[in-house]
């Protein structure tokens, strides 16, 4: 007797076998990230017998953070700390190519490979009331706050180890160390609101020159000035280092 297998059932069987021959791992950070309210969600996929690719989405919801020191603003010889209470948020991505040992294959044991990263940080400070004087000595007022944007991008090499437990479901991933080089893009702004009539920062060159952010003591920036804002920016070579511990689930 000849038995015919329906086409859809055959297709389903092939897909099931193909899917079971592969494994996907979802993970979340368990070290360092939570300490800074940074949430990491990773997905690792096998693309060769001992090679995987992993992509990680990073996010930090805006919340208060004490950011002192470089956040100091000096106005006419007096220091202010507008970043003593500020909102910090972040979003980014890390993409890794992992090479595992041929004996154990993908997902298991020690691994090494390149990684590429990009993270955008945003700091927004509280405002302080400032006084500016024009060439005739007339005083003008405004609430001045600052917004700092940091973009960290680059790549490097990393090593780590990963184990799969509890019937191939529980995953513990330890990135031992990763090092590399990149670029730190910095853009900072002094923004004025609730200003008095005829307020224009371009009319107060001396006061603007005396209003400096703490980070300007370390790096030289080019300034751009318009009526209600002063913007500085620069790109700085940056050394990258990463490590971490993730817990995940394989399926």
Higher pLDDT, 99 or 133: 99
pLDDT-derived band at 78 (thresholds 50, 70, 90) equals low
Question: Tens digits of per-residue pLDDT, 194-243?
Answer: 888 888 888 888 777 766 665 666 666 677 888 888 777 888 899 999 99
Does residue 42 contact residue 56 with C-beta atoms inside 8 Å?
yes
Question: Tens digits of per-residue pLDDT, 7-56?
Answer: 433 333 333 333 344 478 999 987 766 666 788 899 999 999 999 999 99
pTM: predicted TM-score of the whole model, two decimal places: 0.69
List domains and CATH numbers for the chain: 22-250 (2.40.160)
Does residue 228 contact residue 193 with C-beta atoms inside 8 Å?
yes
pLDDT-derived band at 66 (thresholds 50, 70, 90) equals low
Does residue 147 contact residue 122 with C-beta atoms inside 8 Å?
yes
Residues 154, 118: Cα–Cα separation, whole Å: 7
């Amino acid at each position: 007797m000849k038995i015919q297998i329906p086409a859809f059932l055959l297709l389903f069987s092939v897909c099931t076998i193909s899917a079971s021959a592969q494994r996907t791992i979802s993970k979340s950070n368990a070290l360092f990230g939570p300490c800074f309210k940074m949430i990491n969600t990773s997905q690792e996929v096998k693309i060769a017998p001992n090679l995987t690719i992993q992509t990680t989405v990073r996010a930090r919801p805006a919340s208060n953070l004490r950011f002192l020191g470089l956040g100091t603003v000096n106005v006419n010889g007096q220091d202010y700390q507008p970043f003593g209470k500020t909102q910090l948020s972040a979003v980014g991505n890390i993409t890794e190519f992992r090479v595992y040992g041929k004996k154990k294959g993908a997902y298991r044991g020690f691994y090494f490979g390149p990684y590429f990263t990009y993270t955008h940080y945003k700091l927004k400070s509280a405002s302080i009331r400032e006084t500016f004087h024009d060439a005739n000595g007339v005083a003008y007022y405004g609430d001045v706050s600052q917004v700092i944007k940091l973009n960290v991008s680059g790549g490097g090499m990393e090593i780590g180890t990963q184990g799969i437990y509890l019937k191939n479901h529980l995953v513990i991933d330890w990135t031992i160390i990763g090092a590399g080089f990149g670029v730190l893009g910095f853009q900072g702004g002094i923004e004025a609101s609730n200003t008095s009539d005829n307020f224009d920062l371009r009319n107060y060159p001396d006061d603007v020159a005396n209003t400096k952010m703490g980070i300007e003591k370390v790096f030289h920036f080019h300034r751009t000035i318009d009526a209600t804002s002063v913007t500085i920016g620069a790109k700085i070579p940056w050394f990258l280092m990463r490590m971490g511990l993730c817990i995940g689930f394989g399926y």
